[in-house]
Amino acid sequence: MIDDLSLQMRNRRVAIWLLVCCGLVFAMVVLGGVTRLTGSGLSMVDWRPLMGWLPPLSDTEWQRAFEMYQLSPEFQKINSHMDVHDFKSIFWLEYLHRLLGRTIGILFAVPFIFFVVRGYIGKREWPKYLLMFALGGFQGVLGWYMVKSGLIDNPRVSQYRLTAHLVSAFLIYAFMFWVALSLLFPHSGSRRHPWFGRTVLLACLISVTIISGGFVAGLDAGEIYNTFPLRGSQLIPPGLAALDPFWRNLTENMTTVQFDHRLLATTTFVLIVVYWLWARKAGLPERARPAATALLMTAVLQFILGIATLLLSVPVLLAASHQAVAMLLFTVTLYLVHSLRKIPM
């Protein structure tokens, strides 16, 4: 009994550490969205993963950083009116975004070593956590790969690289969150709940909707057709298949990308409402019932935020909130799927 309590305590501590890391990744995603929305993402034109902890600390260093930025296409084509003072206003958000990424790496690595030394994480579990760390490192490389796409000719990052960067962050978050839940709620049964499959499908639909939102963000497609439910004066706008081959419209045509995201978001919202109505009579496990209600409430909030963001032409606060609640919706869905994966016979 004592050993069981000791194991439970150790697992709880590891889970809390992982959840703290999840919270930081959550903040990282939201801050990244604000950085993009404020046009700050291309302000730092170099990448020094080991030596880039400190910002410019003197007027000379600020002037050197500004001169580097003046060579970028964003300055030459969009921000040529800026002086050093203006440059600082966009520099700090990107700097804080990168600093938070480095901080997450430290706050993951150091406790991991501590837990390994103390025996909280067994040798068979090491690969799982090392993979988390490797994915975090890859996320940093992918972030710089994204930024580089806006430092060549066109001062805009590739929507493909931006979406890949977003998806990678969500994958890391999901991995850590799932492992933390498994430590806090070790399965007590051997069979899945009958609703497990449909809940996974719903999670997949939510994920696809989030991915489509990445393309909307990358193309600034939220700034067209700022009406709802019509697109201008039409339900189906013209030009959905303007590009050839057709598949390019799904990721490169602003009209099609916004249309797809709105269609996916509306479909997802309706299905979540239907899911909740049916789930009330489905005999869900005790842990799943409040999660199903939280799923509905989060979906309602997200749908309202999405419409408001569109109607008001993507203000920074609303757009960042929309992205944050998307991640919250993703979190609730993961929790719900986890609660249905193993139940008592």
Contacts of residue 87, Cβ cutoff 8 Å, sequence gap at least 6:
43, 62, 65, 66, 69
**Residue-range definition of the domain harbouring residue 110:** 1-186
Are residues 229 and 153 both part of a single domain?
A: no
Burial class (CB within 10 angstroms; exposed 0-12, middle 13-18, buried 19+) of 127: exposed
The whole-angstrom separation of Cα 8 and Cα 283 is 28
| 3-class DSSP state of 315 | coil
Are residues 214 and 154 both part of a single domain?
A: no
Lowest mean pLDDT among 86-90, 161-165, 231-235: 231-235
Lowest mean pLDDT among 34-38, 48-52, 202-206: 48-52
Which of 133, 153, 186 is the last residue before a domain boundary? 186
Are the C-beta atoms of residues 137 and 71 closer than 8 Å to each other?
no
**pLDDT in the model for residue 319:** 96
Nearest to 111 by CA among 9, 6, 14: 14
Are residues 146 and 215 both part of a single domain?
A: no
| Residue at 111: amino acid letter | P
Are the C-beta atoms of residues 168 and 85 closer than 8 Å to each other?
no
**pLDDT in the model for residue 187:** 72
Are residues 143 and 220 both part of a single domain?
A: no
Query: Between residues 274 and 49, which one has the greater pLDDT?
Result: 274
Across 35-61, average pLDDT: 87
Would you say residue 301 has pLDDT above 80?
yes
Lowest mean pLDDT among 149-158, 265-274, 315-324: 149-158
Q: Name the percent of the chain lying above pLDDT 90.
A: 83
Are residues 59 and 147 both part of a single domain?
A: yes
How far is it between the farthest Cα atoms of the chain?
Answer: 70
Q: Name the percent of the chain lying above pLDDT 70.
A: 97
74-109 b/e with 16+ CB inside 10 Å = b? bbeeebeebeeeebbebbebbbbbbbbbeebbeebe
Query: DSSP assignment of 76-125, as one string?
Result: HHT-TT--HHHHHHHHHHHHHHHHHHHHHHHHHHHHHHHHHHTTSS-GGG
Would you say residue 2 has pLDDT above 50?
no
> pLDDT tens digit string along 250-283?
999 999 999 999 999 999 999 999 999 999 888 8
| 3-class DSSP state of 343 | strand
The whole-angstrom separation of Cα 195 and Cα 287 is 14
Confidence of residue 1 (pLDDT cuts 50, 70, 90): very low
**pLDDT in the model for residue 3:** 56
Q: How far is CA 75 from the centre of its chain?
A: 28
Query: 85 is written with which tokens?
Result: 């003072």
**pLDDT in the model for residue 51:** 66
Confidence of residue 345 (pLDDT cuts 50, 70, 90): low
The whole-angstrom separation of Cα 111 and Cα 306 is 38
Which of 170, 186, 202 is the last residue before a domain boundary? 186
0.85 exceeded by the pTM? Answer: yes
Across 218-224, average pLDDT: 93
> pLDDT tens digit string along 89-137?
999 999 999 999 999 999 999 999 999 999 999 999 999 999 999 999 9
Are the C-beta atoms of residues 333 and 295 closer than 8 Å to each other?
yes
Contacts of residue 278, Cβ cutoff 8 Å, sequence gap at least 6:
none
Are residues 38 and 94 both part of a single domain?
A: yes
Compute the mean pLDDT over every residue in the chain, rounded to the nearest whole number: 92
Would you say residue 190 has pLDDT above 80?
no
Are residues 27 and 125 both part of a single domain?
A: yes
The whole-angstrom separation of Cα 114 and Cα 248 is 48
**pLDDT in the model for residue 333:** 97
Are residues 252 and 157 both part of a single domain?
A: no
> pLDDT tens digit string along 167-177?
999 999 999 99
Are residues 173 and 232 both part of a single domain?
A: no
Contacts of residue 139, Cβ cutoff 8 Å, sequence gap at least 6:
101, 165, 168, 169, 172
Are residues 181 and 197 both part of a single domain?
A: no
Nearest to 256 by CA among 244, 239, 268: 239
Domain count, the chain: 2
Are residues 257 and 136 both part of a single domain?
A: no
Are residues 216 and 273 both part of a single domain?
A: yes
Query: 185 is written with which tokens?
Result: 């709620």
The whole-angstrom separation of Cα 79 and Cα 101 is 27
Which of 186, 219, 253 is the last residue before a domain boundary? 186
**pLDDT in the model for residue 8:** 87
Q: Is the peptide bond before 245 cis (omega within 30 degrees of 0)?
A: yes
